[in-house]
Chains A and B, each alone.
Chain A
Amino acid sequence: MSDRTTPAAAPDPAASSLGDTLAGGWDGHGDDLPPEDWGKRGGQRRTGTVWLFALFITAMALAHAWLSDDLTSQAFLAWATIFTAISFQALPFLVFGVALSAALTAFVPPSAYQRFIPAKPVRAVPVAGVSGALLPGCECASVPIAGSLIKGGVAPAAALTFLLAAPAINPIVMIATAVAFAGQPEMVLARFAASLLAAVVIGWIWVRFGRADWLRLPARPHSPGESRWRVFRESMLHDMMHAGGYLVVGGLAAATINVMVPREWLLTVAGIPVVSVLVLAALAILLSICSEADAFVAVSLTDFSPTAKLAFMVIGPIVDLKLIAMQAGVFGWRFVARFAPLCLAVGLLSTFLIGGLLL
């Protein structure tokens, strides 16, 4: 325990008794068993699942008791810390986004969208881009919301523009950027302009070239009579499982890169004009930092030019490992394989343009 950084912050007795509490709590569920359909189709599989989880919880309790103190590899612990940090930081946003998206699916009739968003995709795209400024959250929240917008009948291109704009230009992110780049309002303006421009241009490109069958959106078949709360619950569960699973994939990748790639490698290329911009764009993709935090990291990369920092903040919210994985979960890999490179290309062009004009 002595080589842990914060011995006291990992209180063994409390957590281990918690493992027991959990196991006990599970026994509570066990009282409901057997269900009334015990032995019918599916019943046995369910019982199996419950046993599997009981085993899992027991294994965790045992591992906690015997294994925890042996986990002393510094590199592994740093990796675990960053992985947990990314997962838990994104979790509230994911839950919020999933809940909002489920509410849109369950309670907002498609006709409501048609009142606000123009029917013609070409005009809907800029409207969607600007309304991205209304959603306070990061990219984890916007993926499921975009999915439910498309299901609600919004043109896919407009929903995708919203998906790209919301995490980049919402008030929280703008304030965070202004705080990080105190005294450089041009950076805040450049970020807003470059992100919005990229989102709208990508939307228009999708209007022109996008194909509906690239998007995999299971139209959720709920019968008209189904209760809205049940639709809400099902939609939330569905999105949590899809977006959440891939969020963990993205967190694993980002944590690995965060620990494996020493930042001083970057400093050697900081002085080269175009390359430095591309390097920071690549870093934004790999690190998958939440859009509300990326400005603070960007400002700390002082050896790089303002345009390179702008690239870090423009690319991060529209393409990164975590986002790619989540989009794959909601829209499918065929979509991501086309959408992510498009975002990267347009995002970079927009960065160079706005960076050249404003910075």
Chain B
Amino acid sequence: MNRIAQGLTLVLLGAAALTSTVATKLYLNWVKQGFGPFLIAAGVVMVLLGLLVIVAELRGERREAFADERDPAAEAHGGASDHGADPSGHGHDHSRAPAVAWLLLLPVIAVFVVAPPALGAYTVESTAGSSAPPPDQPRSGRFDDGLAEAGPNEVVAMDIRQFVMRAWIDEERLLAGREVELTGFAVPASDGEGWYLARLQMACCAADAVVNKVLITNEPAPEADTWWTVRGTWVEPAGEISDVSEHEFAVTEMESVTNPPDPYE
């Protein structure tokens, strides 16, 4: 990989980072919103570095540097390092990068050609059974859903994560009988009955996404991956709440969501 190629690769990679953050909101499909500014900064740095390298190369700077390097350095390096194992012959000529650097164009292709969507029903189905499990010890004060603060007849809008947390570990069962509003995408249930309203919870990027879902049986299943806001109540289980593996939700109203702002919770 010569220096023009390195510079152009960096410019393209930086452009991909900037496109997915500044020009579009694609980056929200992959990483947390908080990463936006860092991605922009990284994109700017890469574009600048790439341009600098290209400009320097076009001015012919490389040849003199190359000439400097050749004589003493090539000799000094010859024996000690493992050139045989390194097909790029790295160690002699610093102006060339190893072939693996071409792979930096893959994220560029991913952004401009594939534009990967947020994870959805496919991921929920293929990770069945690993729905966000109960934390070890329930502690008071760890609920962040505003259920306790809301008036008794108020509809409480919650994340599915918050709902599942309540349903799983709130021994006081505050959720019982309360009208709740949830937003998520539809996932067909693999074993036939009902469907799931699901949302993915992301700590950092899509690679660490965790599935949160509730089972809905009293409404016909909508098309997979369509987004819905549902109102209804928790179906209170008969036995121990911590033994429940799937939390059921009885829907009273549901409304289609055309474009959710952030695909993840």
Contacts and interface: CB of A to CB of B under 8 A. Distances in A.
Contact of B28 (A9, A64, A71, A216): A9
A81 B118 contact: yes
Interface stretch (A44-52, A120-128, A156-164, A348-356): A44-52
Contact of B27 (A15, A88, A245, A289): A88
A4 B35 CA distance: 23
A223 B121 CA distance: 58
Contacts of B10: 237, 240
Interface stretch (A111-119, A258-266, A271-279, A338-346): A258-266
A75 B49 contact: no
B45 A78 contact: no
Interface string A270-296: 000000000000000001111011111
A233 B68 contact: no
A252 B109 CA distance: 13
Interface in A168-197: 176, 180, 182-184
B49 A42 contact: no
> Chain B interface secondary structure, helix, strand, loop or mixed?
helix
Contacts of B91: 216, 218
Given A35-B60, A242-B98, A245-B98, A49 B263 contact: no
Contacts of A204: none
A358 interface: no
Interface residues of A, number: 110
A82 B123 CA distance: 11
Interface in A139-177: 176
Contact of B94 (A42, A53, A68, A220): A220
Contacts of B110: 80, 83-84, 87
Interface of A: 3-6, 8-11, 14-15, 18-19, 22, 25, 29, 32-33, 35-37, 41-42, 45-46, 49-50, 52-53, 56-57, 60-61, 63-64, 67-68, 71, 74-75, 77-78, 80-89, 91-92, 94-96, 99, 176, 180, 182-184, 213, 216, 218-221, 223, 233-234, 236-238, 240-242, 244-246, 248-249, 252, 254-255, 258-259, 262-264, 267, 287-290, 292-297, 299-303, 329, 332-334
26 contacts: A15-B115, A32-B58, A42-B2, A60-B108, A74-B121, A77-B114, A78-B126, A81-B117, A82-B119, A85-B30, A95-B45, A216-B81, A221-B76, A237-B6, A241-B97, A244-B13, A244-B101, A245-B104, A246-B100, A248-B104, A249-B100, A264-B128, A289-B208, A302-B133, A332-B82, A334-B82
Interface of B: 1-2, 4-6, 8, 10, 12-13, 15, 17, 19-20, 23-31, 35, 38-39, 41-42, 45-46, 49, 52-54, 56-60, 62-63, 68-69, 72-73, 76-77, 80-82, 85-86, 90-91, 94, 97-98, 100-123, 126-130, 132-137, 139, 142, 185, 203-208, 210, 225, 258-260, 263
Given A8-B258, A240-B10, A264-B130, 19 more contacts: A3-B225, A15-B19, A15-B112, A18-B19, A22-B112, A36-B60, A53-B12, A81-B119, A87-B107, A87-B110, A88-B20, A88-B39, A89-B35, A89-B207, A95-B46, A241-B1, A242-B97, A245-B103, A267-B130
